Amino acid sequence: MTERPPEPPLPEPRWYDPGRRDPLARPPRTGRADKGRGGRERRGDGRLLAWVALIAAGAGAAGAAVVLVLGMLVLGAGAGSGTAGSPVPAPAARTVELSAVTAAVDAVSPAVVTITTRAGDGALVAADPFALPATGVGSGIVYDASGLVLTSRHVVCDADALTVRLKDGRELAATTYGIDTLTDLAIVRIAGADDLPVAPIGDSSGIRPGQVAIAIGSPLGTYTNSVTSGVVSATARELTVDDRCGSGMRRTLRGLIQTDAAINPGNSGGALVDIDGRVIGVNTAIEGGSEGIGFAIPIAIARPLMRQAAAGAPLTRPWIGIVHEPITPALADRAGLPVDHGVLVALPAGEAGSAVIPGSPAEAAGIRDGDIVLAIDGVRIDAAAPLDLLLTDHAAGDTLALDVLRGGETIVLRIVLGVRPAQG
């Protein structure tokens, strides 16, 4: 009779999908033998199963069935204990995820506020005394004890009156301190504020896909201080959105954090938080018609504005004055470009005119249409370090060196940064 080769042992059952390991769970212990009751080392069940299989292989069909059944009974009796039939105490409950996420929420949630806006009071009442003013709702993050709140531009840009509601129930009047001219951010100031909770501010420069992300905000304006969690899905994303602030223009937001933590209307301006309880982003948008695709502006892009407001200065952004397209490997291949990084100075296809804005710092520095700007002060421009993000490290009036590829040669141009106009 031909001997049958031993069958491999069956995998152990699991209560969860092992393909998505809990990022907060403790790593398994290594270098120690698993012991049952009384400190006795449990011998490997795999070796016992192998002996059973070998015996079964030489026992014939009927004998094999009996041996295998007996083997399974032996394994069942000994797999869970050091002594047959003796139960092993369940391992201590692992509370790493619960404690870490709740601690992060406890640190930030008191400083996440609900912002209610009212627009058009005077004009509406004059035209129709029975008309109600338009109202909106969003979220914000108290980052300074003087009453400064970081939020989304589209939450407050058209508001005539603002009310900020804290987690502790207080409702306070507020005003718009300033609007970002680069991206979807704004600063709000709470009037007569004292004893305000302040959110810890983190560093978004080192975040990586797969790390835990927690979104806190007021979805739909009803479920205040709601918490959802997920992971950072990607970084350096780009999204083009309709400008909700009356310009009628399309705005491109760059350098965004993508997350699968649920973000809903009303979450705009709320906090994206890391597992250490620090704000790493400002929730701003979701991909329409999708689930689990939300975006946040990295806190690194917001930080210069936060500092300006804390110092009592107007909100400004440095400006070069070019229309550009980030170069990706796909664009380089499609357009036959000699490099796969930097930005191409060019208008969108079909538009006439120059991509260098007249009277801009770029025009004064000698930048031309078709140039490829490769680096700023020696820092390479690419998906991980987009042009807009690199510029946030500088201020208007700074002089920078631009590495520019033109006609197959790299030249260096000196440029003095200007102030970005409201619609620049």
| 295 CB burial (10 A radius; 0-12, 13-18, 19+) | buried
Rounded to whole angstroms, how far apart are CA atoms 192 and 410?
Answer: 55
242 counts as catalytic: no
Whether 154 sits among the annotated catalytic residues: the reply is yes
Q: Which of 152, 226, 233, 268 is catalytic?
A: 268
Of residues 184, 274, 371, 403, which has the active-site annotation? 184
Q: Please pick, among 154, 233, 274, 324, the residue that the annotation labels catalytic.
A: 154
What amino acid positions are annotated as catalytic residues?
154, 184, 268
